[in-house]
Structures are given as structure tokens and as C-alpha cells.
Amino acid sequence: MPFYEPTTKDMEFVLHDLLKVSELDIPGFNEMDRDFTGAVLEEAGKIARDVLAPLNPVGDHEGCKLENGSVRVPTGFEDAVNVLRDGGWTGFDCDPEYGGQGMPYTLSVAVGEMHSSANMALMMYPGLTHGAYAAIHAHGSDEQKTKYLPNLVSFKWGGTMNLTEPQCGTDLGLIRTKAEPQDDGTYKISGQKIWISAGEHGMAENIIHLVLAKIPGGPEGVKGISLFIVPKFHVNEDGTLGDRNEVSCGGLESKMGIHGNATCVMNYDGATGYLIGEKHKGLRAMFTMMNEARLGVGMQGLAQASVAYQNALAFAKDRIQGRAVTGVKEPEKAADSIIHFPDVRRMLMDQKSFVEGGRAFMLWAATMIDRSRRNDDADAEGLVSLLIPVVKGFLTDKGLDATISAQQVYGGSGFTTEWGAEQFVRDCRIALIYEGTNGIQALDLVGRKLATDNGKHVMAFFDLVKDFIKENGEDERMAEFITPLKAASKDLQAGGMYFMQNMGNPDDALSGAHDFMHLFGHVCLGLMWARMAKASFEALDAGAADTEFYESKLVTGRYYMTRKLPETAFLLKKVQAGGENVMGLSVANF
């Protein structure tokens, strides 16, 4: 039976030793001292461990059932959602004006990682609701905010995001869902949306669907898309619920993982909708919160890797099989634990060094989102927008690798349902696909973000790395972190340079986009590990009590620097190979 053990200690290290959040000049951050974040994470962790994690295999096994138009969620899900709601977790980082707790986004990401590790499918119900909250909060009228936000914050009402249609996912310009203007200022929404996560369920009194649709006569393509609120039940003036709106769940998708979440076909048959923001500016409105949404998916990839690692580690310590090559380690047993075998260690260290490095990267990026939100800091916004495709693409690609590697530690048991390792793989798999496939992330990075503001933000990133190298280049203890970071960063710059010099043939740039995204991800994790090494040395110098924790950080960091980071040279080679061989085969000859 799989378990989840809260990663409070490591998160505290990242928040305080590494990021020093309480010292950051961001409104609200000075309250984030160790005591406070520790107390929050401890509570969040208890829910993850005791409430959410035990339901994870239940949700996978039972799945969701569509019965007479209603979706029955797995046993225990509603009770668990009530625990989240009652504890104020659903509105953790929401606006206090609408009942939220107003906590920093950064802390909400740490909490979110725990909860997502414990039960990814379940957390998508409040997760999508949060997305709807955010869009209305950013673009809704005051009336709309007053009407919808408090109930979304408390999860009295759920929320969904409706983008995809059978003929379009990535290319939303092909949307066919229509919004016919009515005399009373509302719209009649008609069309079919697919893959709508949490699209229908009975855990909330109402569901507020945010729907992309085209008003007839508007501009062609993506420039003619508007965003609408379509409530499942009409909401009366006094806030009470009226009749059902003409929206219904037409079916549930059978899928590889996240079985506990209802992936719905949603049919809009002249449903009443309310425009959010301006006409034809729907895509912009939907994507305002894109950085948070994509960071959230990167977080899911990392979260599955984290829980998969924990369980694989426990298995490796417990399972005895054969004897260590360097001599018997556990003579009192019939065989040694498999954790003594180098290849098992390799797999565990791969996972551990990724999870800890990725967590630091994710939380660092989250602080930039807080800075851009709370300080209105355009540079932070620019830098984090550059990094977001890397957070999403790299953390989910490598997160999936980590879950597969964790599964491998179990041998045959990893393939059985009983041990749970295979569920982490299946659940994680979707994170590489939704919220923009990882190929789309790479395209966003190379085709758009690199050149934003004339390359200002990528230069800022390089400066960050350079400055860190410069500041610590004299420190001998840091050499084994600085030297590989320097080499990797040089590879990244060379990759960027290649694109600059080959703008003329976009196929050349885009053929290497995915590799470049990975190159970038490695440099980010390399930077994080170098910084964590520095923080660990400082803590040890300052006489920190838990010397083993900091020394373990250094060992894990060295592993990343010697065995993961050097992949950058190979990735650069692929970037520089251009598009010739990628595009060389004619379609007919495939």
C-alpha cells in the first residue's frame, strides 16, 4: 500500500536556507518565518498523509461514474474535499476580500505539492476551481466577482476551464462553440467541449464553467474568441440557485490515469453565458493566469516524482535480495536490502537529486510570481515568464522519468497495482500533455520567450548565473559545483546563440526547441544545486545542529552535478544539429 510522508523539512530548507523568503522584499513575506511556514506545512502535510493519500488508490480503482447525467466521484472524495474546504485550504492564496486567506503564492505551491503528491486526481477538483477563480478575479466585473468569487474560494461552488473541442486543442483558432448575443446582454452558448477536468460532480452545489466561444461575426481565428461564465445552475439575484442551465455532461473519458478525476465531454445546448472582460479578448483573459497554471502542472510532475521516490526508497530499504558486491551488509538477514546495490542507488539518486533540485527551482519561480504580483515587478514577471515553459516542460518530462525509475526499483512488484508505483507513472503521464504539451512549451520558450523584450529576460537569467559563479568562484569548496555549472551555462548560451544565428530557417530553431528546453532545465537545476550547496556550507559553518541533513544535501548535489548536468553537452549537440535531419524525410516517405 503506497503512502505519502510530508516533505516539510526539505521545503523548509528551500524556503529559508535557500530562498530566505522572510527576508525578501515582497509584501506579506516578512511574516513567513520558519515557525509560521513550519506550522502551515505541518498541517498541510497531515491532510496529505492522513486524508488524501489513503484515497489515492481508491480513486484510481473506482474511477468516476456517469449516472443519469451526474458524476459519482470515488468513495471518500467528498469527505476529503470537505476537510480541505473547512480548513480554508481551497482559498489559501485567494483574495481576502472574497474570503481567501491571502497567503503568498509561493507557500501555496509548497502546500500544493504535498497535496498533489498525495492525491493528484482529487486535487484537480479544487485546482480547476482555483483556475476559474483566478480568471474571474482578473477579468470579471465587480458584480461578477461579488457573485461568484466567495463561493469559488470556499469551494461551495466548483469551477472548470473549457478550451478543447474535438477538432482543436493546441490551435484554439479552430473553435466552433458559438455564443449568440441575446437582447438581455447574455449569450446563448452552443457547442461541445472535451477533456473538461472536474466538469461534473456532486461535491459542490454549483459548477461555474468558464467557456471559450466565438461570437458570430467576430474576427477569424484566435482573435475572435471570447470568454464566458456558464453556471451549471442559474444564480438568482439574491445568490440562491435557480434552474439548471442548458449545459450537461455527455460522457466521461476513459483514460490512462487520474481516474479519480472526471474528464468530461460537456455539451452546451443554448446555455446562458455571461461575457467576462471584453468581446474577442477571451484568449488573453483565459491565459492571464497561464504562468500559475503551467507552474501548477510542473508541480504535479514533481509531486508524482516525489511520492514515487518516497515509496521506492522504502521498498529498497525493506526488500532483501542477494548480497552486496562489496561484502555482506546485513548478516542478520538472509540477504541484503537492495538499497546496497549500486544500480538501485543510481535510480534512487536520480530521483532524489531531481526531486530536491526541481522543488527548489519551482519554489524559486513561485517567488518571482509573488514578486510580480505583489510588487508589480515587470522584471520578475519577464524572468518568470521565460522560465515557466521550462518549469512545466522539464519538471514533467523528468518527473515522469523519475516515476518510471521509481517503479523500476520494485522489480516485478512495480508492475502490480497492489504496490501503487504504477499509478504514479500513469497519473504523472498527463502532466506532459495538458496545459500545452511539452512540445508547445518548447515552442513557447524558443519561438517567443527568448526574444521577449529584445532578449532582456534571458540576458537577466545569464547574468544571475554569471554573478553567482563570480561570487563563489574563489571558494574552493564550491569548485565541484561551480565548474560544472559554468560548463552547462556555456552550453546554454551556445544553444541560444545558435537560434539567434539561424532565425532565417525556423525549422532549424524549432527542431532543437525541446532539447534546448531540457538544456535550460538542467542549468536551472544546476544553479539551484550550486545555491543549495552554498546554503548548506553556510549552515554547517554556522554550526547547524542537523549536520547530516546538510551533508546529505552536498552529496545529492554532487550527484546531480556529475551525473545529470553534463547532459547539456549532448543536448547542445542536438540543438546545433539543426533541422536538416529532422525535416529531411518527405511526408510520403515516412
Considering only residues 20 to 79 of the shown chain, the ones binding a copy of itself according to CB under 8 A are none
Binding mask 423-442 for a copy of itself (x = CB under 8 A): --xx--xx-xxx--xxx--x
Tell me the C-alpha distance between 449 and 385, whole Å: 7
Contacts of residue 541, Cβ cutoff 8 Å, sequence gap at least 6: none
CA distances from 154 to 96, 220, 343 (A): 11, 38, 47
Which of 27, 102, 242, 411 binds a copy of itself (CB under 8 A)? It is 411
Place of cell 528546453: 517
Taking residue 466's Cβ as centre, other Cβ atoms within 10 Å add up to 13
Number of residues this chain uses to bind a copy of itself (CB under 8 A): 94
By the rule CB under 8 A, 394 interacts with a copy of itself: no
Which of 148, 341, 364, 461 binds a copy of itself (CB under 8 A)? It is 341
Which of 35, 217, 237, 585 binds a copy of itself (CB under 8 A)? It is 585
Least spacing, CB of residue 230 vs a copy of itself, in Å: 21
Least spacing, CB of residue 560 vs a copy of itself, in Å: 9
Cell triple for 102: 491571502
Residues 186-245 contacting a copy of itself, CB under 8 A: 194-195
Tell me the C-alpha distance between 64 and 333, whole Å: 44
Residues 431-490 contacting a copy of itself, CB under 8 A: 432-434, 437-439, 442-443, 447
Tell me the C-alpha distance between 148 and 98, whole Å: 9
Q: Which helix (H) or strand (E) holds 417?
A: none
Place of cell 529532422: 582
By the rule CB under 8 A, 555 interacts with a copy of itself: yes
Which of 79, 171, 467, 538 binds a copy of itself (CB under 8 A)? It is 171
Least spacing, CB of residue 322 vs a copy of itself, in Å: 4
Least spacing, CB of residue 558 vs a copy of itself, in Å: 5
**79-87, 150-158, 355-363, 582-590 -> range binding a copy of itself (CB under 8 A):** 582-590
Tell me the C-alpha distance between 94 and 112, whole Å: 14
Determine the Cα angle at 567 with ends 562 and 569, to 5°: 110
Tell me the C-alpha distance between 497 and 494, whole Å: 5
Residues 312-331 contacting a copy of itself, CB under 8 A: 313, 317, 321-322, 325-326
Least spacing, CB of residue 168 vs a copy of itself, in Å: 7
435 counts as catalytic: yes
Query: Which residues is 20 bridged to in the sheet?
Result: none
Least spacing, CB of residue 413 vs a copy of itself, in Å: 9
Tell me the C-alpha distance between 243 and 557, whole Å: 58
Sign, Cα dihedral of 474, 479, 485, 489: positive
By the rule CB under 8 A, 545 interacts with a copy of itself: no
**76-84, 275-283, 286-294, 335-343 -> range binding a copy of itself (CB under 8 A):** 335-343
Local structure of 90: helix, strand or coil: helix
Tell me the C-alpha distance between 171 and 212, whole Å: 13
Q: Which is nearer to a copy of itself, 542 or 587 (CB)?
A: 587
Q: How many CA atoms lie within 13 A of 339 on its CB side?
A: 15
Binding mask 504-523 for a copy of itself (x = CB under 8 A): -xxx--xx-xx---------
Least spacing, CB of residue 286 vs a copy of itself, in Å: 17
Which of 141, 416, 452, 501 binds a copy of itself (CB under 8 A)? It is 416
**4-12, 161-169, 451-459, 490-498 -> range binding a copy of itself (CB under 8 A):** 161-169
- The catalytic position among 42, 435, 471, 567 is 435
Q: Which is nearer to a copy of itself, 290 or 577 (CB)?
A: 577
Least spacing, CB of residue 574 vs a copy of itself, in Å: 5
Would you say 232 and 70 are in contact if contact means Cβ atoms under 8 Å apart? no
Residues 252-271 contacting a copy of itself, CB under 8 A: 253-257
Contacts of residue 230, Cβ cutoff 8 Å, sequence gap at least 6: 162, 189, 208, 209, 210, 211, 245, 247, 268, 271, 272, 273, 274
Closest CA to 560 of 517, 589, 531: 531
Catalytic residues: 435
